[in-house]
Amino acid sequence: MKNLDIVETKYFTFAHPPHRLKLESGQVIGPITIAYETYGRLNETKTNAILILHALSGDAHAAGFHINDSKPGWWNDMIGPDKAFDTDKYFVICSNVIGGCRGSTGPSSINPETGKPYGLTFPVITIRDMVKCQKYLVEYMGIEKLLCVAGGSMGGMQVLAWMTEFPEKVRSAIPIATTLRHSAQQIAFNEVGRQAIISDPNWADGNYYGKKIPANGLALARMVGHITYMSDISMQKKFGRLKNTEFNSEFSIGFEVEKYLHYRGNSFVKRFDANSYIYITRAMDMFDALENVEKRNNLERFKGDVLIIAFKSDWLYPAYQSKEIVKVCKHAGINVSYCEIESTYGHDAFLLETEEQTHLIKNFLKRVYSGIKDERTFDSGGP
Amino acid sequence: MKNLDIVETKYFTFAHPPHRLKLESGQVIGPITIAYETYGRLNETKTNAILILHALSGDAHAAGFHINDSKPGWWNDMIGPDKAFDTDKYFVICSNVIGGCRGSTGPSSINPETGKPYGLTFPVITIRDMVKCQKYLVEYMGIEKLLCVAGGSMGGMQVLAWMTEFPEKVRSAIPIATTLRHSAQQIAFNEVGRQAIISDPNWADGNYYGKKIPANGLALARMVGHITYMSDISMQKKFGRLKNTEFNSEFSIGFEVEKYLHYRGNSFVKRFDANSYIYITRAMDMFDALENVEKRNNLERFKGDVLIIAFKSDWLYPAYQSKEIVKVCKHAGINVSYCEIESTYGHDAFLLETEEQTHLIKNFLKRVYSGIKDERTFDSGGP
């Protein structure tokens, strides 16, 4: 399949003082920079824009290749010419969340007031704050209404936040492998990750920039994460009880699965900031899409179509949580479709099961987009 | 229900040099002390002895109360007068495993050759080494053949090791919520726990005795453990998204489930040794009940009855693993019963679902024990 050509990350800065952004917590921050990428071309009527929302460890680089880089963006199999999010037809945007560490303003950014990294002085960030920043970006591009918002895992939470915060700004939504709110188990796993970081003496209350970073703690958090992203069966298929003969001391790595977890943990440390991990997981845990009457009412104002996707072996965001989203959408009078994809990949399936997702999403978007074109034909067809 | 009275831990020391114990690794160690408790009375023919085998964090104190202690042993609901393991009928033994830290020789014990704690100089311990030490204890008590060996989780692995190491020494076996061998996922979770300990700077290559202990690392290991011992639904029932208002800073505990995990982690540190955690989890990961032809042949020599119990919501030791044990027992020509108990408690069910287990185990033991009595009646009934 054809890939996108070379792509590059762009940056949008807004909320310049004194017009700083008011966050959900009531705290203010500014200026804010949001890293983003775009693929495909925005049409003249600006009706073909799709916003892709990333998961905990994702970033703005969703598809294509950066110059001199052999590894494509994190959802490259889904975004490109003739792919699920077809860049020959649609204008696809992906931005890094506020609080992140991949180009957007976050705890590792320099606080202009002090000239030093924010660290823990960075304000608490919520999923709705992430979405609010995306709205500024989309408005800056002159887009009145998005054709679709789509994403898996935390990306799916952002989809739900778009639906309840800006119901009139979205024509359709695709929440994948996600939940209205974290269960006790999901919070528990995140807390283990945070605690691993905080327990690392190098963390130093978040003031580790320019010094030794809490690499062990962050790697450990990622190791726990990886177990929850896979399934019992996918781990068994991939590693089973294979020994790793390179390591034979009593306490170092003895099984292949251990080596893999260490490898994934250590690579993560090179590209992710420990404080961002804490802030973002906290945002996920605090999120409750329908926490009050206002949010429930907002959802009823959403008039678009919704496609909800879950995966059978996903035990971190189990299908029952997606079915709850289906239920509240139905109650809100929303036109919703639900599909549970057979997969053994666990939560990772949203990144790996591209064929089935492509089929579903392509048809869904085609229908939504042709609806808009029909509207236009009808509008301009009058005298 | 009536409980046992005051009980106390006793100690058995063997393998005095030069007659040290040869371990599965080929290394030797001695002397070895094994902490144990007994409940009920051994009958004259010594045919009513049941050996209870503990899980990762268990110890010899399985039932009754220690003097001045308000908390009973870890399986008190199952062991006592008229309970599943009826101390009015049976003589129940429980010992702390070698490698442990609750009275048996382990990494925190003093190496008589150096006068210092073993630390990482303690030899690698396997599940079969644990069982070998138990056999010395049982022989010391003059017991020729155990009426039953029973245990859950790692206790169940020891049951399987008894069946394949000393098939003639056991009349019946009850492996509960256990597996023939760890899957990649089970190894992965254990590795996270080990890594948490090893990453704690206080661990100091295992030489922390008399100094600051790796409390953060061990607590973190236990936190991960606790998530895997519960189920999604049991965590949701117990905690849901309850906030904990005592803690409201951004990064400290905010949800009740987090507070619980911290509490369990911190209490564990007071009673468990970090090096024992590493040694014992490694023993579990390395164990493979049927790793070679010899073990398979040994299993065919086992002529007793087997009762296998699993729990529906146990995702750490899923029921399919128990069904694999059923299958190999059937192939070995063993008389085996299997029961999958409906429970929402997850892996913890083997400690909590006492009513259903009591029913099953009581009847099973009654049948096995009456078989022995019939044998005796027959033997002594001749001219």
CB–CB of B238/B210 below 8 Å?
A: no
Catalytic residue check, A153: yes
* Largest CA-CA distance found in chain A, in angstroms, rounded: 83
Q: Going along chain A, which residue ranges are E strands?
A: 10-14, 21-22, 28-29, 32-39, 49-53, 79-80, 85-86, 91-95, 110-111, 116-117, 148-152, 172-176, 305-311, 335-341
Examine residue A332 and state whether it is found in any structural domain, yes or no.
yes
Domain end residue (candidates: B281, B310, B329): B281
A 52-81: CB under 8 A from B: none
Which of B236, B250, B290 should be substituted to probe chain A, the one whose Cβ sees the most A Cβ atoms within 10 Å?
Answer: B250
pLDDT for A230-280, tens place per residue? 999 999 999 999 998 765 555 556 899 999 999 999 999 999 999 999 999
Instruction: Look up A347 and say whether it is catalytic.
Output: yes
Residue of B nearest to A182 (CA): B241
A159 in a domain, yes or no? yes
Residue A4 lies in a domain: no
Count of structural domains, chain A: 2
- Do B46 and B24 fall within a single domain? yes
The range of the structural domain enclosing residue A96 comes to 10-181+288-380
Beta strands in A133-275 (DSSP E): 148-152, 172-176
d(CA A185, CA A242): 29
Contact assessment for residue A223 and residue A253, using Cβ atoms and an 8 Å cutoff: no
Q: Are residues B173 and B251 in the same domain?
A: no
Residues B29 and B170 in one domain: yes
Does residue B90 share a domain with residue B35?
yes
Q: Give long-range contacts, CB 8 A cutoff, 24+ apart: B297-303.
A: B298/B163, B298/B164, B298/B165, B298/B167, B299/B163, B299/B164, B299/B167, B299/B328, B299/B329, B299/B332, B299/B334, B300/B332, B300/B333, B301/B167, B301/B168, B302/B163, B302/B164, B302/B167, B302/B170, B302/B173, B302/B332, B302/B334, B303/B167, B303/B334
**B96, B230: one domain:** no
> Which two three-digit tokens encode residue A140?
């800056």
A344 in the same domain as A273: no
Cα A210 to its chain centre, rounded Å, is 28
- Given an 8 Å threshold on Cβ–Cβ distance, is A187 in contact with B278? no
Cβ atoms of B36 and B9 closer than 8 Å: yes
Q: Is A240 helix (H, G, I), strand (E, B) or coil?
A: coil
Cα distances (Å, whole numbers) of residue B140 to A50, B137, B336: 75, 5, 30
Distance from C-alpha of B210 to C-alpha of B293, rounded to nearest angstrom: 45
Gap between the Cα atoms of B171 and B148, Å rounded:
6
Which residues of B fall within a CB distance of 8 Å from A227?
A: 185, 188-189, 192
- Asked if A191 has any chain B CB less than 8 Å from its own CB, the reply is yes
Rounded to a whole number of angstroms, the CA Rg of chain B reads 21
Distance CA A79, CA A64 (A): 8
Q: Whole-model pTM?
A: 0.96
Active site residues of B: 153, 314, 347
Residue B131's closest CA among B167, B104, B158, B101? Answer: B158
Residue A23 belongs to some domain of the structure = yes
Q: How far apart are the first and last CA of chain B?
A: 44
**Do B25 and B166 fall into the same domain?**
yes
Q: Which pLDDT tens digits describe chain B residue by residue (383 residues)?
A: 788 989 999 999 999 999 999 999 999 999 999 999 999 999 999 999 999 999 999 999 999 999 999 999 999 999 999 999 999 999 999 999 999 999 999 999 999 999 999 999 999 999 999 999 999 999 999 999 999 999 999 999 999 999 999 999 999 999 999 999 999 999 999 999 999 999 999 999 999 999 999 999 999 999 999 999 999 999 999 999 999 876 555 555 689 999 999 999 999 999 999 999 999 999 999 999 999 999 999 999 999 999 999 999 999 999 999 999 999 999 999 999 999 999 999 999 999 999 999 999 999 999 999 988 776 665 544 44
Task: Read off the pLDDT of residues A131-157 as tens digits, 9 standing for 90 and up.
Answer: 999 999 999 999 999 999 999 999 999
Query: Which letter, b or e, does each residue of A114-136 get, where b requires 16 or more Cβ atoms within 10 Å of its Cβ?
Result: eeebbbeebbbbbbbbbbbbbbe
Going from the C-alpha of B229 to that of each of B1, B219, B310, B350, the distances in angstroms are 27, 15, 14, 10
d(CA B353, CA B154): 18
Query: What residues pair up with A353 in beta bridges, in sequence order?
Result: none
Interface of A with B in 227-266 (CB under 8 A): 227, 230, 232, 235-236, 238-241, 250-251, 253-255, 257-258, 261-262
**Cα–Cα dist A275/A285, whole Å:** 15
- Within 8 A of A199 by CB-CB distance, chain B residues are 196, 200, 216-217, 220
Contacts of A187 in chain B (CB under 8 A): 241, 255, 257-258
- Identify the residue whose tokens are 């705890």: A107
For helices A127-140 and A154-165, angle between their N-to-C axes, nearest 10 degrees: 70
Residues 6+ apart with CB under 8 A from A367: A305
The SS3 call for residue B255 is: strand
What is the Cα–Cα distance from B74 to B94, expressed in whole angstroms? 11
| Chain A residue closest in CA terms to B230 | A185
Classify residue B2: in a domain, yes or no: no
Rounded Cα distance, B262 and B253, in Å: 9
Q: Examine the domain organization and report whether B274 and B323 are in the same domain.
A: no
What is the three-class DSSP state of A314? coil
* Domain co-membership, B200 together with B113: no
- Note the maximum CA span of chain B: 83
Bridge partners, A148 (sequence order): A50
Q: Write the CATH number for A269.
A: 1.10.1740.110
Q: Which residues of B touch A196 (CB under 8 A)?
A: 196, 199, 220
Across the A/B interface, how many CB contacts are shorter than 8 Å? 138
Q: Which of B214, B247, B281 is the last residue of a domain?
A: B281
Q: In the listed set B252, B281, B310, which residue is the last one of a domain according to the structure? A: B281
* A239 to chain B: closest CA residue: B184
- Alpha-carbon gap: A243 to the closest alpha carbon of chain B (Å): 10
Claim to verify: residue B210 and residue B123 sit in the same structural domain: no
C-alpha A378/C-alpha B224 separation (Å) is: 59
What is the rounded distance in angstroms from the CA atom of residue A138 to the CA atom of residue A46?
Answer: 11
Instruction: Specify if A2 maps to a domain.
Output: no
Residue B355 located in a structural domain: yes
Q: Is B141 on the interface with A (CB under 8 A)?
A: no
pLDDT digits (tens, 9 = 90+) for A198-230: 999 999 999 999 999 999 999 999 999 999 999
